[in-house]
């Protein structure tokens, strides 16, 4: 059986204390069945990291050093490494020794036997030693993973983990944009939407404190929230899409109701008030849907699509008007009748937009 080749990409920024030991641990993975390629990407370190990397490359033919002329972030360093990788599989390895390279041998097994396209290591599946550190970091990771799962329809336990191993052709076919730690939610989103075979396996973890050099901050957590929405918004599962539309529809419904009440107060007849307020709300709904929810599927050069949108709006208007009049005739107050009709119209609008228009 021919040996497989694993490309290990190590993004490095000011890791002079741990880089040597990290690379040595990765080199220890070599065996007759596993060839290594180690790509150290120095992200414009200001300490001795680059010189250490070059010394290691001079001593080991498996190592290549790539450099950034300015500090660009972990995600940018990984893009550089992924582009130059030549192995059968490509793995991410942080230079700080929080992750044990021994786990990489286990992670590549589903790739080697053809079961997986991507394997993700989980710090929370309960195998191997895990250093006990920050509670709120754990809560933050759990929350971001839950939110990511809701948007990707995956069931991962550790979206933010460093250890992700890919078939080379998979990771090199994905266009990545995030320069910092937003790489994690971005790449998870993009592999999820390609319907790849994804496996998750337990790993050990020896996290470090900020005094020991940990770099991620609360700002990266905020960026992760943005990335989860940005890179998943084109492919939201139906339940999440409906929640988003409820928020949009709710805003439009408020506009609808306010316009309706205002028109009634200035003496506009009920039917005209309903039609006019619905038209204003429909415009608000339209622009919010395109801006936030359905923009990726809008095909404005398609006359059929525009026609379908108009049909859905007209039908929703008929439903809104009919429901308002019926409820009003049944003795319900005008405002309450309009509010109830708006709720009915909200559901109708979502189903029409999702299944008929966009």
pLDDT at 307 (0 to 100) = 80
pLDDT of 157 above 90: yes
What is the rounded CA–CA span in Å between residue 254 and residue 4?
60
DSSP secondary structure of 86-115: -SSEEEE--TTSSS-THHHHHHTHHHHTTS
Q: How confident is the model at residue 296 (pLDDT cuts 50, 70, 90)?
A: low
List of E strands, 164-272:
164-167, 198-202
Stretch(es) of the chain classified as CATH 3.90.550.10: 4-233
What is the rounded CA–CA span in Å between residue 58 and residue 112?
30
Q: Which two tokens stand for residue 217?
A: 């901050």
pLDDT of 150 above 90: yes
pLDDT of 346 above 80: no
What is the rounded CA–CA span in Å between residue 241 and residue 353?
11
Q: How confident is the model at residue 93 (pLDDT cuts 50, 70, 90)?
A: very high
Beta bridge partners of 200: 120
Residue 321's Cβ-count burial label (10 Å; 0-12, 13-18, 19+) is: middle
Least confident of 109-123, 170-184, 232-246, 251-265: 232-246
Q: Which residue has the higher pLDDT, 37 or 240?
A: 37
Average pLDDT over residues 59-75: 95
What is the rounded CA–CA span in Å between residue 270 and residue 321?
10
First-to-last CA distance in the chain? 50
80: left (phi over 0), alpha (psi -120 to 50) or beta: alpha
Q: Which residue has the higher pLDDT, 196 or 306?
A: 196
Average pLDDT over residues 94-103: 91
pLDDT of 35 above 70: yes
Least confident of 89-93, 95-99, 218-222, 258-262: 218-222
H helices present in 28-134, as ranges: 49-59, 74-84, 102-107, 109-112
Q: Which residue has the higher pLDDT, 160 or 343?
A: 160
pLDDT at 112 (0 to 100) = 95
For residue range 116-129, list pLDDT tens digits in order: 999 999 988 866 66
Average pLDDT over residues 298-321: 76
Average pLDDT over residues 253-279: 89
Cβ neighbour number for residue 49 with a 10 Å cutoff: 23
What is the rounded CA–CA span in Å between residue 354 and residue 245?
10
| Half-sphere exposure for 166 (CA within 13 Å, toward CB) | 24
Backbone CA torsion sign across 236, 241, 243, 249? positive
Q: How confident is the model at residue 321 (pLDDT cuts 50, 70, 90)?
A: confident
Residue 31's Cβ-count burial label (10 Å; 0-12, 13-18, 19+) is: exposed
Q: What average pLDDT is seen over the chain? A: 88
What is the rounded CA–CA span in Å between residue 269 and residue 263?
8
Average pLDDT over residues 138-160: 92
What is the rounded CA–CA span in Å between residue 226 and residue 229?
5
Residues with Cβ within 8 Å of 178's Cβ and at least 6 positions away in sequence, in order, are 73, 75, 186, 223, 227
User: Which one, of 73, 72, 7, 70, lies nearest residue 40 by Cα?
Assistant: 7
Q: How confident is the model at residue 82 (pLDDT cuts 50, 70, 90)?
A: very high
Q: How confident is the model at residue 199 (pLDDT cuts 50, 70, 90)?
A: very high
pLDDT at 210 (0 to 100) = 60
Global pTM reads: 0.74
Q: Which residue has the higher pLDDT, 214 or 296?
A: 214
Average pLDDT over residues 84-92: 97
Q: Which two tokens stand for residue 86?
A: 């030549």
Q: Which CATH architecture has domain 4-233?
A: Alpha-Beta Complex (3.90)
């Amino acid at each position: 059986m021919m040996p497989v080749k694993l490309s290990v990409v190590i993004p490095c920024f000011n890791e002079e204390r741990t880089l040597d030991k990290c690379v040595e641990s990765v080199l220890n993975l070599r065996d007759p069945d596993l060839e290594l390629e180690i790509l150290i990407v120095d992200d414009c370190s200001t300490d001795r990291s680059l010189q250490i990397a070059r010394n290691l490359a001079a001593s080991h033919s498996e190592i290549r050093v790539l450099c950034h002329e300015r500090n660009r972030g972990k995600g940018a360093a990984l893009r550089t490494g992924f582009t130059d990788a030549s192995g059968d599989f490509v793995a991410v390895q942080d230079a700080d020794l929080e992750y044990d390279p021994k786990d990489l041998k286990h992670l590549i097994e589903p790739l080697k036997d053809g079961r997986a396209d991507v394997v993700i290591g989980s710090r929370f599946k309960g195998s191997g030693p895990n250093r006990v550190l920050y509670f709120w970091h754990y809560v933050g990771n759990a929350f971001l993973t839950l939110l990511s799962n809701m948007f990707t329809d995956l069931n991962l336990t550790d979206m933010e983990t460093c250890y992700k191993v890919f078939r080379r052709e998979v990771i090199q076919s994905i266009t990545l944009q995030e320069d910092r730690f937003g790489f994690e939610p971005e790449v998870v989103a993009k592999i999820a939407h390609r319907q790849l075979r994804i496996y998750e396996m337990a790993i050990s973890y020896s996290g470090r404190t900020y005094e020991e050099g940990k770099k991620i901050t609360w700002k990266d957590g905020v960026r992760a929230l943005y990335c989860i929405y940005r890179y998943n918004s084109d492919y939201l599962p139906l339940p999440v899409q409906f929640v988003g539309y409820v928020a949009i529809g709710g805003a439009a419904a408020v506009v609808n109701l306010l316009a309706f009440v205002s028109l009634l107060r200035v003496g506009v007849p009920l039917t005209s008030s309903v039609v006019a307020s619905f038209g204003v709300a429909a415009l608000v709904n339209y622009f919010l849907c395109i801006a936030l929810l359905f923009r990726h599927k809008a095909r404005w050069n398609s006359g059929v699509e525009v026609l379908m949108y108009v049909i859905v709006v007209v039908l929703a208007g008929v439903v809104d008007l009919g429901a308002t009049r019926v409820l009003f005739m049944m003795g319900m107050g005008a405002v309450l009748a309009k509010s109830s009709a708006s709720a009915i119209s909200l559901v109708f609008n979502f189903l029409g937009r999702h299944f008929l228009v966009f």
